[in-house]
């Protein structure tokens, strides 16, 4: 299967980022790239949740970063060896695959323990104790399997060996065995007859031509007769390997990793242990394979597609360790570095979903109602129902077409969505600042610009002191020179710009902030991208 491709927008995602991830992932799948998943880098806002709920779409899975994980390694697959399997089978698997250690599984494919070559070597010394199969509760079926033989007559009375193992060489004329016992004999006719008469529940006959077996078993005998091509002495040596691996596997202090463990942590663990191979398990505890230290040299980078951003600081942590395949965006081209050429589509429109909607049309693919509804929601959000100066004729044209497919009244739905997203009830200052906040490095300055769109403009001023305190906290924790919050209300017709930071004098010169104030109302200012950030860029 092709490696999964993740599609995501920026941190603190807005409706455009979430909806672009979902809609572009849908387009890629419709074009035949089935292993594409939309994910997000942060909490979904009330506005976005309203759109998802309205159109019945599940939110994308949230990821914390895109750093390499164990699942990105080309680890060894493992042939299944279960606790009931014979030691011989484990040995064969290890030799065929060149492994000095393999995991042993329970029936549900979960880890029971591990077994190494040194563990198995102890069973290769042969049959030194006639009770070894009984003591280790050996499945009878393992015996013909290990001896590469077959049962030609009768059947053993039990699923597990309950008696001892004998040979005709050690049997006296008057020895009587029980139906639980097993006896090994060579191909000599007299010895075979003696073995069949001794009362054992199983007779193993060695040195047989498995393609031409001519053993005569008495008609009234129900003893299990097993024929094997192995010699008498090899059979004695091999039969001990019929015991189940569960009896010799290591269960305690096993070093293993989970598929979603990060390689930084895995490397450190590997350096601190003498083991060479390690089982890999998924989040359900199922064993997926083995890795060795050499696998750390063969990492498959995560494949990603970026939407609605192209700045390193706004992207996933660890983005420099990923393989960027595509970028779809409507912002300025910034500082994302790529190791290989990428497909880049950037247009000066008001919303990334406008570009994606165009791509649906260019590929002659009709988006389903749900996807059309999400793309429409993003356009209405980013353009503030076409009132933002970033809005272009393309945004309006695509929104009108998408509204028809989504079967909604464009303006009525837009007003309902924005109203749902602007409710501040139960929102803490920290949550409010992270609804849609983006970091910028401009020249020597680290700047954060957050924006909320609200129809509840007055309520912001009731908690303004708490908001300022949270902004001051952000300055310290993120080493910011300037922290800005845009409180935008399309009914009032502008934005209240709240400012903190040691370089707040920059806002005084750029936006006319009074030195004694901590905020200023900017009439007809709706867009961070077009009306705030360009002025900040003059600082570079």
Q: What is the mean pLDDT of residues 379-403?
A: 95
Distance, in Å, from the CA atom of 475 to the CA atom of 531, rounded to the nearest integer, reads 23
Provide the pLDDT for residue 350.
Answer: 96
Cα separation values, 332 from 10, 73, 381, Å: 14, 35, 19
* pLDDT tens digits along 269-303: 887 877 778 888 888 888 888 888 777 766 778 99
- 410-422 vs 369-382: helix axis angle to the nearest 10? 70
Q: Who has greater pLDDT, 93 or 54?
A: 54
Q: 198-202, 256-260, 304-308: which has the minimum mean pLDDT?
A: 256-260
On whether the CB atoms of residues 258 and 282 are closer than 8 A, the answer is yes
Give me the CATH topology for the region 429-537: Diaminopimelate Epimerase; Chain A, domain 1 (3.10.310)
Q: Report the range out of 159-163, 212-216, 460-464 with the highest average pLDDT.
A: 159-163
- Confidence category of residue 512, pLDDT binned at 50, 70, 90: very high
Calculate what percentage of the chain has a pLDDT beyond 90: 55
Alpha helices (runs of H) in 423-477, residue ranges in sequence order: 429-433, 457-462, 464-477
Distance, in Å, from the CA atom of 410 to the CA atom of 420, rounded to the nearest integer, reads 16
- Count the Cβ atoms, other than its own, within 10 Å of residue 484: 27
Distance, in Å, from the CA atom of 146 to the CA atom of 77, rounded to the nearest integer, reads 24
For 5-68+302-422, CATH gives 3.90.1640.10
Calculate what percentage of the chain has a pLDDT beyond 70: 97
Residue 444 has which token pair? 């020597």
Residue 127 has pLDDT above 60, yes or no: no
By C-alpha distance, which of 334, 336, 333 is closest to 322? 336
Distance, in Å, from the CA atom of 192 to the CA atom of 194, rounded to the nearest integer, reads 5
Q: What is the mean pLDDT of residues 87-115?
A: 87
Q: Where exactly are the structural domains of the chain? A: 5-68+302-422, 72-121+247-297, 139-242, 429-537
Distance, in Å, from the CA atom of 512 to the CA atom of 182, rounded to the nearest integer, reads 99
pTM, full prediction: 0.63
Q: What is the mean pLDDT of residues 262-273?
A: 82
**Enclosing H/E stretch for 258:** strand 257-258
On whether the CB atoms of residues 6 and 39 are closer than 8 A, the answer is yes
Provide the pLDDT for residue 128.
Answer: 63
Q: What is the mean pLDDT of residues 377-398?
A: 95
- Which DSSP string corresponds to 16-31? HHHHHHHHHHHHHHHT
For 72-121+247-297, CATH gives 3.10.580.10
Residue environment code for 61-92, b if the CB has 16+ CB neighbours within 10 A, otherwise e: eebebbbbbbbbbebbebeebbebbbbbbbbe
Residue 491 has which token pair? 């009914």
Q: Who has greater pLDDT, 137 or 172?
A: 137
Cα-flanking dihedrals φ and ψ of residue 102, to 5°?
Answer: -140, 155
Distance, in Å, from the CA atom of 164 to the CA atom of 132, rounded to the nearest integer, reads 8
Residue 321 has pLDDT above 60, yes or no: yes
Angle at alpha carbon of residue 538, lines to 388 and 488, rounded to 5°:
25
* pLDDT tens digits along 210-251: 999 888 888 888 899 999 999 999 998 889 889 998 888 888
Distance, in Å, from the CA atom of 163 to the CA atom of 182, rounded to the nearest integer, reads 7
Q: Who has greater pLDDT, 373 or 288?
A: 373
* pLDDT tens digits along 522-539: 999 999 988 999 999 988
Q: What is the mean pLDDT of residues 480-488?
A: 95
Cα-flanking dihedrals φ and ψ of residue 325, to 5°?
Answer: -95, -40
Residue 1 has pLDDT above 50, yes or no: no
Average pLDDT over all residues of the chain: 89
On whether the CB atoms of residues 41 and 11 are closer than 8 A, the answer is yes
Give me the CATH topology for the region 139-242: 3.40.1390
- Confidence category of residue 124, pLDDT binned at 50, 70, 90: low
Provide the pLDDT for residue 158.
Answer: 94
- Residues paired with residue 65 on neighbouring β-strands, in sequence order: 317
Q: What is the mean pLDDT of residues 51-61?
A: 97
R_g over Cα of the chain: 36
Residue 82 has which token pair? 């279960």
Q: What is the mean pLDDT of residues 53-60?
A: 97
DSSP state of 96: H
Distance, in Å, from the CA atom of 440 to the CA atom of 537, rounded to the nearest integer, reads 9
Provide the pLDDT for residue 82.
Answer: 92
Provide the pLDDT for residue 75.
Answer: 80
Provide the pLDDT for residue 377.
Answer: 98
Cα-flanking dihedrals φ and ψ of residue 112, to 5°?
Answer: -95, -30
């Amino acid at each position: 299967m092709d490696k999964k491709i993740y599609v995501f927008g920026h941190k603190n995602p807005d409706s455009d980022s979430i909806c672009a991830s979902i809609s572009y992932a849908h387009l890629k799948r419709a074009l035949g790239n089935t292993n594409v998943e939309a994910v997000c880098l942060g909490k979904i806002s009330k506005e976005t949740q309203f759109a998802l709920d309205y159109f019945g779409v599940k939110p994308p899975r949230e990821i914390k970063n895109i750093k390499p994980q164990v699942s990105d390694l080309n680890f060894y697959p493992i042939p299944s060896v279960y606790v009931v399997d014979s030691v011989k089978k484990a040995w064969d698997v290890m030799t065929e695959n060149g492994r000095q250690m393999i995991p042993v599984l329970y029936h549900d494919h979960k880890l029971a323990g591990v077994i190494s070559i040194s563990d198995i070597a102890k069973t290769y010394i042969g049959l030194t104790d006639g009770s070894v199969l009984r003591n280790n509760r050996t499945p009878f079926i393992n015996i013909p399997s290990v001896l590469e033989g077959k049962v030609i007559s009768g059947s053993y009375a039990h699923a597990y060996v309950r008696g001892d193992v004998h040979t005709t060489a050690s049997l006296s004329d008057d020895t009587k065995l029980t139906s639980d016992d097993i006896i090994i004999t060579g191909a000599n006719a007299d010895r075979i007859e003696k073995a069949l008469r001794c009362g054992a529940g199983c007779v193993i006959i060695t040195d047989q031509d498995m393609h031409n077996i001519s053993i005569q078993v008495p008609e009234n005998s129900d003893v299990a007769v097993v024929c094997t091509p192995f010699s008498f002495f090899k059979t004695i040596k091999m039969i001990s390997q019929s015991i189940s691996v569960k009896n010799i596997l290591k269960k305690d202090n096993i070093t293993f990793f989970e598929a979603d463990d990060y390689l930084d942590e895995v490397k450190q663990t590997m350096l601190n242990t003498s083991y060479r191979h390690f089982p890999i398990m998924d989040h359900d505890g199922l064993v997926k394979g083995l890795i060795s230290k050499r696998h750390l040299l063969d990492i498959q980078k995560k494949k990603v597609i970026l939407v609605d951003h192209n700045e390193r600081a706004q992207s996933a942590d660890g983005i420099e360790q990923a393989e960027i395949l595509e970028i779809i965006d409507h912002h300025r081209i910034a500082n994302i570095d790529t190791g290989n050429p990428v497909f880049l589509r950037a247009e000066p429109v008001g919303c990334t979903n406008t570009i994606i909607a165009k791509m649906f049309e260019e590929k002659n693919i009709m988006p389903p109602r749900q996807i059309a509804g999400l793309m429409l929601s993003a356009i209405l959000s980013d353009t503030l129902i076409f009132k933002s100066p970033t809005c272009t004729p393309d945004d309006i044209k695509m929104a009108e077409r998408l509204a028809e497919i989504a079967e909604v009244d464009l303006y009525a739905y837009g007003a309902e969505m924005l109203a749902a997203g602007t409710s501040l009830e139960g929102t803490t200052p920290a949550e409010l600042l992270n609804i849609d906040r983006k970091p910028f490095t401009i020249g020597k300055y680290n700047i954060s610009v957050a924006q909320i769109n609200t129809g509840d403009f007055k309520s912001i001023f009731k908690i303004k002191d708490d908001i300022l305190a949270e902004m001051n906290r952000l300055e310290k924790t993120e080493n910011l020179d300037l922290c800005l919050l845009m409180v935008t209300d399309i009914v009032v017709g502008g934005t209240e710009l709240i400012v903190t930071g040691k370089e707040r004098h920059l806002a005084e010169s750029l936006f006319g902030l009074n030195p004694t104030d901590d905020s200023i109302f900017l009439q007809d200012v709706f867009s961070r991208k077009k009306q705030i950030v360009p002025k900040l860029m003059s600082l570079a």
